[in-house]
Amino acid sequence: MIRSMILITTFLALILFPASAVVSLSQADIEKELASVLAKHDVPALGGAIVTSDGIAAIGVAGVRKRGTEVKVTASDLWHLGSNTKAMTALLAGLLVQKNLISWDVTVEKIFPELKPDLNSQFAGVTLLQLLSHHAGLKANCSEWNEAISGNPQQQRYETIKFAMSESPENVPGTTYAYSNAGYVIAAAMLEKATGKSWEELISAYIFRPLEINDSGFGGIGTPGTIDQPWPHTEDGNPLPKNGPEMDNPVVMSPAGRVNMSLYSWGLFVADFLRGLQEKKSIASSSLYKTLTTIPFSGDYALGWLVSSRPWGGGNVFTHAGSNTFNYCVVWMAPLKDFAILITCNQGGSAAEKACDEATSRLIQLLNLSNPK
């Protein structure tokens, strides 16, 4: 089974960023840096964007859609976001909480009382908040996703609850951080039961349409057999034999890591977060964005975001990476300095991680140079 993974990077740059992010960089500035990083790490393509609370400041790309061809990536291409989908699912949950359709402390057992006989008693008190913060005691994934689950995505997520929560937990729920795609699948099932609509319908209605994101999709990218979007590549840099929607994790995992969209659209989502954290007009209340970026239990994971501190961010910054092993991307968001960096790559593995890490660092340095003290 293709497993969604998260590899959180650290920056090479420790520069201090100016107090305001008045960005004067161009597409050419970004593409020059991306081309240099691409050549150094030998990945097929990279995309990069600088975002502020005002929106997308600049986007650039470098490389080819498929290694061995001369078909270049474009600024409007789609990219697989992997586990960066989790921040979207967490925001969706928060929006439904604000509408009193569900609550953070509601338990799986209360939403699905008919499943009580199937669940291990230690999972009885697991809440929506614990699922979204990886404190539910669940395994990372379910082997049954490829073997024993059928039906439409909603039905598969419902079945996931029984498979994931019937055995003993990995650790006592509520006590330990343990990254789990299964937790986000179950959280999505709770949202579906509370509203009577699929996660795919909800994410579109509550987030994508309000933000005017018009090019989002789920699963692998491109028309099968046609090099019309970035092609997926293995860790060693070889293109997969096939492309398209089926070249991804199982459909049940969409809430945990199967969204794809352009850099521009991903930037719209991140810009909304920056506005929300700065108490500017956004699609949710400022208090919700603070909840989503506040660590509720142990570790350094909030809801869809890891929290750390960086000098260039003026304090707390928020990050997440995503990969289906054939693509990789990362976001770093610094609301105190009003900017975020988005980096994408159409290859998985350590080379892609290192390339995205260095590309992020270089764009931060570019920002510093374009805003001298």
**Per-residue pLDDT at 5 exceeds 70:** no
CATH match of 27-84+215-370 with 3.40.710.10: yes
At 232-287, the pLDDT tens digits run 999 999 999 999 999 999 999 999 999 999 999 999 999 999 999 999 999 999 99
Confidence band, pLDDT 50/70/90 cuts, at residue 367: confident
pLDDT tens digit sequence for 119-158: 999 999 999 999 999 999 999 998 877 666 778 999 999 9
d(CA 34, CA 257): 25
CA distance 246 to 251: 9
Tens digit of pLDDT for each residue in 202-217? 999 999 999 999 999 9
**Residue 1 confidence (pLDDT) above 60:** no
* Tally: H helices and E strands in the chain: 11, 9
* Confidence band, pLDDT 50/70/90 cuts, at residue 77: very high
User: What is the number of alpha carbons within 13 Å of residue 110 lying toward its C-beta?
Assistant: 12
301 DSSP 8-state letter: B
| pLDDT at residue number 219 | 97
User: Which residue intervals of 77-127 are DSSP H helices?
Assistant: 85-98, 108-111
- Residue 179 CA: distances (Å) to CA of 66, 86, 130, 358: 31, 11, 11, 25
Confidence at residue 26, expressed as pLDDT on a 0 to 100 scale:
84
Q: Give residue for tokens 């491109």.
A: 222
94 and 191 in contact (C-beta within 8 Å)? no
Rounded CA separation 370/143 (Å): 49
Q: What pTM does this model have?
A: 0.93
Nearest CA to 330 out of 45, 59, 84 is that of 84
Give residue-wise pLDDT tens across range 39-51: 999 999 999 999 9
CATH fold, domain 90-201, is: Beta-lactamase (3.40.710)
pLDDT tier for residue 23 given thresholds of 50, 70 and 90: low
- Which candidate, 229, 251, 253, 250, places its Cα nearest to that of 240? 229
Averaged pLDDT for residues 55-68: 97
How is residue 295 written in tokens?
């660590």
Stretch (H or E) spanning 41:
helix 27-41
- Average pLDDT taken over every residue of the chain: 92
Based on the number of CB atoms within 10 Å of its own CB, is 115 exposed (0-12), middle (13-18) or buried (19 or more)? middle
pLDDT beyond 80 at 368: no
Return residue ranges of the chain for CATH 3.40.710.10: 27-84+215-370, 90-201
